[in-house]
């Protein structure tokens, strides 16, 4: 007589639980790997306008096509979304290099900068230069999306003020944008 030993086969629930644990371990490992990869703007980097923009600059509204070294803000309101690599914990310094379109009537271009719904700076710009704004940590986006808004109420059409065929309503020629920790800027 042969004695057969019965081994218990795992139940379907036990098998699924085991698979779920392996999937969870695999997901955690992948997430840790992704966190090491930069998918957004890193503080201190410089975004150059006028050519192909990095993938973390998104949803540009009210800007011209790239024009070599810059992109024009068109009309009185322009905006973009900048996806950050990591949220910032302290105030940061935003630097924007731009040249305003200045009509002979106005002599300067009023420019206001909003970040995530708050006005952070205003300038009366009359030449190409670096313009600076302190962005408080309270503007830090939870979802790492920095919504940047340019308001140029004195935007004008070159064709209205000069002998020009350019009928676009121009605000500023945005050349560069960078953000860095305020503590490193001093």
How confident is the model at residue 103, as a pLDDT? 86
Together in a domain, 29 and 90? no
- Rounded to a whole number of angstroms, the distance between the first and last alpha carbons of the chain is 90
Together in a domain, 34 and 53? no
Instruction: With respect to residue 20, please indicate whether it lies within any of the assigned structural domains.
Output: yes
How confident is the model at residue 138, as a pLDDT? 74
pTM score, two decimals?
Answer: 0.77
pLDDT band at 22 (very low <50, low <70, confident <90, very high): confident
Domain containing 68 equals 46-185
> DSSP state, 44?
T
Containing 133, the helix (H) or strand (E) segment is: strand 129-135
Q: pLDDT for 43-68, tens place per residue?
A: 999 999 999 999 899 889 999 999 99
| Cα–Cα distance, 113 to 158 (Å, whole number) | 23
Burial of 185 (0-12, 13-18, 19+ CB in 10 A): middle
Q: CB–CB of 137/90 below 8 Å? A: yes
Contacts of 60 (CB under 8 A, 6+ apart): 53, 71, 78, 79, 80
Q: Dihedral of CA 151/154/159/164: which sign?
A: negative
Whichever domain contains 139, its CATH number is 2.60.120.260
Which of the residue ranges 34-43, 95-104, 140-149 has the most confident prediction, judged by mean pLDDT? 95-104
């Amino acid at each position: 007589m042969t004695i057969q030993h019965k081994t218990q086969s795992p139940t379907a629930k036990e098998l699924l639980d085991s698979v779920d644990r392996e999937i969870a371990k695999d997901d955690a490992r992948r997430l840790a790997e992704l966190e090491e990869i930069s998918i957004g703007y890193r503080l201190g980097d410089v975004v150059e306008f006028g050519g192909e923009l990095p993938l973390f600059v998104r949803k540009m509204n009210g800007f011209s096509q790239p024009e070599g070294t810059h992109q024009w803000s068109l009309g009185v309101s322009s905006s973009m979304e900048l996806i950050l690599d990591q949220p910032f914990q302290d105030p940061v310094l935003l630097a924007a290099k731009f040249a305003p379109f200045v009509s002979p009537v106005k002599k300067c271009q009023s420019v206001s900068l909003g970040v995530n719904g708050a006005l952070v700076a205003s300038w009366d710009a009359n030449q190409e230069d670096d313009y600076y704004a302190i962005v408080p940590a309270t503007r830090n986006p939870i979802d790492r999306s920095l919504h940047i808004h340019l308001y140029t109420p004195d935007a004008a059409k070159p064709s209205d003020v000069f002998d020009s065929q350019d009928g676009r309503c121009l605000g500023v020629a945005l050349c560069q944008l960078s953000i860095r920790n305020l503590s490193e800027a001093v």
